[in-house]
């Protein structure tokens, strides 16, 4: 059946001559463009792409990540980075180990001290084990816990100006999240090969201010 169809199509092409050949060429180039697009989906305003790069404990030295930061952060004016490490382009940098950052505090305390910022870069250790083994023994690896990130994200939602951006790095694409008023604009998957987790970069825009209720531990004042 398939062979018969191919034969009939070839026959038609021979009869139609050059115009048909041009048509087929266009069709084939459309097909190959569609194949290339498999790694870049643009739908409902969200761009998703996937690249390969060597891993590094200093995330921002990874070339496609440095390029993405260059596109969104520019000269870093008005940006804050609570886990700055050694390579942050943000103006307001913080790292518990110093590492040349402007502030040397716990990231959550640093965020609580901020008011309005243009954007936040959020690149904490991705697990407790990673925190202890590769970055710092301080606070028993708390910075690699999802509960700790959630409290940081509440502060980020409070300080990022309406229309401002966040760029989160993790092994998941949760980002700051819809519930906190953020909408994903771009996801970059950086594959590091079979023995490593991907680094997932999630770029979000603050589209809606949401009041975040303080947790019992955050309430300042005398306890009864």
Ligand X SMILES: C[S@@+](CC[C@H](N)C(=O)[O-])C[C@H]1O[C@@H](n2cnc3c(N)ncnc32)[C@H](O)[C@@H]1O
Pick from 69, 73, 90, 107 the residue near ligand X by CB under 6 A: 107
Judged by CB under 6 A, the stretch of 31-39, 93-101, 195-203, 216-224 that binds ligand X is: 93-101
155 near ligand X, judged by CB under 6 A: no
Binding mask 29-58 for ligand X (x = CB under 6 A): -----------------------------x
- Please, which residues have CB within 8 angstroms of residue 123's CB and are 6 or more apart in sequence? 59, 60, 81, 83, 85, 168, 169
Nearer to ligand X, 88 or 168 (CB): 88
Pick from 76, 90, 93, 99 the residue near ligand X by CB under 6 A: 99
Shortest gap between Cβ of 178 and ligand X (angstroms)? 24
Tokens of 44: 């409902």
85 near ligand X, judged by CB under 6 A: yes
Binding mask 110-129 for ligand X (x = CB under 6 A): -------------xxx----
Judged by CB under 6 A, the stretch of 36-44, 91-99, 151-159, 208-216 that binds ligand X is: 91-99
Q: Which residues bind ligand X (CB under 6 A)?
A: 58-60, 83, 85-88, 95-97, 99, 106-107, 123-125, 131, 135-136, 139, 143
């Amino acid at each position: 059946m398939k062979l018969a169809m191919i034969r009939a199509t070839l026959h038609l092409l021979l009869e139609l001559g050059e115009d048909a050949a041009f048509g087929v060429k266009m069709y084939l180039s459309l097909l190959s463009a569609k194949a290339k697009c498999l790694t870049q989906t643009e739908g409902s305003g969200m761009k998703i792409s996937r690249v390969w790069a060597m891993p590094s404990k200093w995330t921002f030295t990874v070339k496609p990540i440095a390029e993405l930061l260059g596109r969104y952060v520019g000269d870093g004016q008005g940006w804050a980075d609570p886990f700055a490490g050694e390579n942050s382009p943000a103006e307001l940098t913080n790292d518990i180990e110093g590492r040349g950052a402007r502030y040397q505090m716990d990231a959550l305390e640093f965020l609580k001290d901020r008011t309005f910022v243009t954007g936040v870069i959020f690149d904490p250790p991705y697990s407790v084990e990673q925190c202890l083994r590769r970055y710092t023994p301080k606070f028993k690896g708390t910075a690699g816990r999802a509960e700790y990130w959630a409290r940081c994200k509440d502060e980020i939602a409070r300080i990022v100006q309406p229309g401002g951006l966040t760029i989160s790095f993790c092994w998941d694409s949760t980002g700051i999240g819809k519930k906190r008023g953020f909408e994903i604009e771009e996801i970059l998957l950086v594959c590091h090969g079979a023995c490593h987790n991907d680094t997932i970069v999630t770029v979000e825009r603050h589209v809606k201010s949401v009041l975040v209720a303080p947790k019992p531990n955050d309430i300042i004042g005398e306890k009864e």
